[in-house]
Structure 1
Amino acid sequence: MSTRHADPAEVTAWVSDAILAPSMHNAQPWHFRYVTASGLLYLRLDMTRSMPRTDADNRGMHVGCGAALFNLRVAAAHAGWSTRIRPLPDPADPGLLARVHFAATTASDNVTDLYTAIARRRSSREPFAEEPVPPALLGALRDAAQAEGAGLSVLGAWHVEAVLDVVEEAEQDEHLSLEERAEIAKWTGTGPGETDGIPTSAFGPRRHGGRAPVRDFAFGRPTPDRRSAVFEHSPCLAVLGTPQDRPQDWLLAGQALERVLLRATAGGLSTSLNSQALEHAGLRWLLRDPRSGSDASFPQMLLRLGYGPSVPATPRRDVDDVLEVDAGRR
């Protein structure tokens, strides 16, 4: 008896949701290929979107692709399909990140309730209120990370201060490196009609008070009508980590990150990501919470959580640019 494969139109819809995931500087480093004859979807790195200076080992690219992979899982589950994922299926082909098999199922999936959050999730560079995040919601975010095999450490006051110092040092290092600034500038300050990168409209206000770690992508470039604002003095910060630090762990980190972000969005939180210190090998390890367990030994992302205003979505490439449908076999 033959097994029904997902229709290309269904897979296209799921990939359309997948690519709403966050990625480093919104570079969108993913490419999908669906083989209709086998019903398998392949996820690859798009190396034309690499950042050799600030992401030399492609860790950030893996994290972004992992986030897209989690969105894919949620979208398929919402449509009544289960996913079986084999990460890094070919040791001879490191750019091939995952092979995904879909199966129609009537069983409920515990991620389907996150589906509506996919389109609502944003990376915000706006100030958040000083209102604390309820402990129960923070606990739910920790559970979300653990469900993917990762750990989420919500930082205490003393560690927040230490991490803010680390981020400030990363900012200074970045300011002194013309090569880093040029690479980042390539992906930021994009204008209307661009389908990738961070547009000037998403820079958020200049900070003239507060200590929230919000990256300023302006680099002194003129940004007409950009306002200034006071950010949080006591930001709620969390560090997502993984038990190990191999490419498969980076992919896992991306799935855990997106699960946390969608759970936060569903809970009414605004979220912001900061990878600045993580882009510097000498600073990355200083983000680790010494109280965290073995599931968070290797820091993968710094998150800022809170209650902020709604912000518009950043642009995305058309699904036809990132998905290839092939009737043959791999």
Structure 2
Amino acid sequence: MCPAVLDAPTLESLIAAAVAAPSVHNTQPWRFRLDPDTGTVVIRAGPERTLRLLDPGCRAIHVSVGCAVFNLRVAAAHFGWEPVTRLLPCPDRPDVLATVRLAGCARPSSPAGLYEAVWRRHSSRFPFSGRPLPATVLNDLAEAALAEGGRMRLSTPPETDRILRITWEAEHRNASDADRAAESRHRVQGPPRAAPGVPPAALGPPDFPDPLPMRDFGAHRHPAVLAARPHERRPTIALLSTAHDRRTDWLRAGQALECVLLVAAAHGVRSSLLHQALEWPDLRRRLASPDADQHGHVQMVVRLGYGPEAPWPPRRTARDVLAEDE
């Protein structure tokens, strides 16, 4: 049944689902506004939440907003609307990244079935069991990415080693750069800070050696030696890529990424994002496979597996991110 009106509680539920999306450093770089005349939610970038050094081109912000757009689409379909999405709809307003119009009744193809996974999905930096993912699950994840204009493929064991070496190099660069380290350190939430950030409990036990190149938000635990043995004997690493590398592709990559993560969560699969190498142009290029058949632009490195639930990162409320006017 199609909903008759969009009331305030439902609007808050839609926006709460959107802000449950992952974002680089949990910056939550988005603002939302409802146009009541057209039933359209306008999503803008929050310039005050950009990462000047880690994301100077705002690629990661676009990917983050794309994740929020997908969650909004999922929630809209769950409540009965057909979400009609436009990317970069205002050429004269570059801060307007997307609009989602709540139009008519949701079609069977709308992503309504993932709504419960929105609230279960969050990144886990903790060790995974090493149990391999079934082929059926991997196929579902690849199809999820493809449905949203992306491509997700599992790396081979030699390629996994290469990707992890590149990511370690990026992590070493980040930890060795005082300004970048300070920018990362600023994103760790600690009392009495109320702003969104990465909760310290999500970083893992302080004495546990970093077996994978997880970001050292403290940038002080092991500044000299970053190499360590893997959490899992053979981590499951996937690359999410797009054919092109424009702003629209970044937004599509975010939607594809979140679709993959929600499908993974629905299957009980944990995930974490290895973004460090993507913050260095030369290392990002090296992430792409040398195989001529694998050309594309890598948008995210995703670690997948089975493991314990991690703490839920803090989120801004719907009222915090809803703007009443322009």
Q: Please report the TM-score for the alignment, with normalisation by the length of structure 1.
A: 0.90
Partner of 1:298: 297
**What is residue 324 of structure 1 aligned with on the other side?**
323
Q: How does 1:113-262 map to 2 (within 5 A)?
A: 113-191=113-191, 194-206=194-206, 211-220=211-220, 231-262=231-262
- Contact 1:207–1:229 (Cα < 8 Å) also in 2: no
How far, CA to CA, are the matches of 1:104 and 1:6 in structure 2?
12
Aligned residue in 1 for 2:13: 13
The 3 A distance-change label for structure 1 pair 181 and 210 is closer
* Residue range with higher mean Cα deviation, 229-238 or 60-69: 229-238
Once the two structures are TM-superposed, the CA of residue 290 in structure 1 deviates from its matched residue by 4.0
Secondary structure, counterpart of 2:90 in structure 1: coil
In the alignment, structure 1 residue 85 sits paired with structure 2 residue 85: yes
Structure-to-structure mapping, 1:17-36, within 5 angstroms:
17-36=17-36
User: Take 1:78 and 1:9, find their aligned partners in 2: how far apart are those partners?
Assistant: 14
Q: Distance in 2 between matches of 1:210 and 1:291?
A: 30
Q: Which amino acid aligns with 1:174?
A: N
Q: Aligned in 2, Cα 1:180/1:259: closer, same or farther, shift over 3 Å?
A: same
Contact 1:27 1:197 in 2 (8 A): yes
Q: Deviations over 1:273-309 (max 9, x none)?
A: 1110000111001112345857x70001110000000
**Whole-angstrom CA distance in 2 between matches of 1:181 and 1:96:** 30
**Structure 1 residues 205 and 8, CA gap change in structure 2 (3 angstroms):** same
In 2, the alpha carbon distance for the partners of 1:107 and 1:260 equals 20
Work out whether residues 5 and 36 of structure 1, in 8 Å CA contact, stay in contact via their aligned partners in 2: no
Matches within 5 A, 1:50-129: 50-105=50-105, 107-129=107-129
Matching residue's letter, 1:107 = R
Query: Which segment is superposed worse, 280-289 or 198-207?
Result: 198-207
- 2:320 and 2:232 mapped to 1: Cα distance? 39
TM-score for the superposition, normalised by structure 2: 0.91
Contact kept in structure 1, 2:189 and 2:196, CA below 8 Å: no
Q: CA deviation at 1:212?
A: 2.8
Contact 1:54–1:279 under 8 Å retained in 2 = yes
- CA shift at 1:6, angstroms? 3.1
Task: Give the conservation status (yes or no) of the 8 Å contact 2:77–2:106.
Answer: no
Shift in CA distance, 93/210, structure 1 to aligned 2, threshold 3 Å: closer
SS at match of 2:217: coil
Tell me how far 1:104 sits from its aligned partner.
Answer: 2.9
How has the CA–CA distance of structure 1 residues 135 and 211 changed in structure 2, closer, same or farther, with 3 Å as cutoff? farther
Shift of 1:188: 1.6
The separation in 2 between residues aligned to 1:169 and 1:230, in whole angstroms, is 15
Aligned match of 1:40? 40
Deviation of 1:322 (Å): 0.3
Letter paired with 2:307: G
- Alpha-carbon deviation of 1:107? 3.0
| Residue-pair matches, total | 319
Tell me how far apart the structure 1 counterparts of residues 317 and 209 of structure 2 sit (CA, whole Å). Answer: 38
Distance in 2 (CA, whole Å) between partners of 1:316 and 1:183 is 19
Superposed CA offset, 1:52-72 (max 9, x none): 101000011111110000000
C-alpha change, 1:258 and 1:78, in structure 2 (3 Å) is: same
Q: Is the alpha carbon distance of 1:304 and 1:207 closer, same or farther for their aligned partners in structure 2, counting shifts above 3 Å?
A: farther
Pick closer, same or farther for the CA change 1:166–1:41 going to 2, 3 Å.
same
- Match for residue 225 of structure 2? none
Q: Deviations over 1:104-133 (max 9, x none)?
A: 305323421111000000100100011111
Q: In the alignment, residue 315 of structure 1 is paired with which amino acid? A: P
The answer for unaligned runs of 5 or more in structure 2 is 223-227
CA contact (8 A) 1:207 1:231 kept: no
The answer to whether the Cα contact below 8 Å between 1:74 and 1:112 also exists between their aligned partners in 2 is yes
Higher strand share: 1
**Which residue does 1:315 correspond to in 2?**
314
Q: Secondary structure at the match of 2:98?
A: strand
Structure-2 change in CA distance of 1:53 and 1:210 (3 Å):
closer
CA distance in structure 2 between the partners assigned to 1:101 and 1:279 by the alignment:
33
Q: Is the 8 A contact 1:152 1:241 kept in 2?
A: yes
Q: Is the 8 A contact 1:212 1:233 kept in 2?
A: no
**How far apart, in 1, do the equivalents of 2:263 and 2:291 lie?**
23
Checking the alignment, whether the CA contact within 8 Å between 1:127 and 1:229 is kept in structure 2 is no
State the alpha-carbon separation in 1 of the partners of residues 292 and 141 from structure 2. 15
Q: Which amino acid aligns with 2:257?
A: L
Q: Give the letter for the 1:143 counterpart.
A: E
Displacement after TM superposition at 1:268 (Å)? 0.9
2: CA distance, partners of 1:104 / 1:204? 45
User: What one-letter code is carried by the residue in structure 2 that aligns with 1:139?
Assistant: N
Q: Which amino acid aligns with 1:76?
A: A
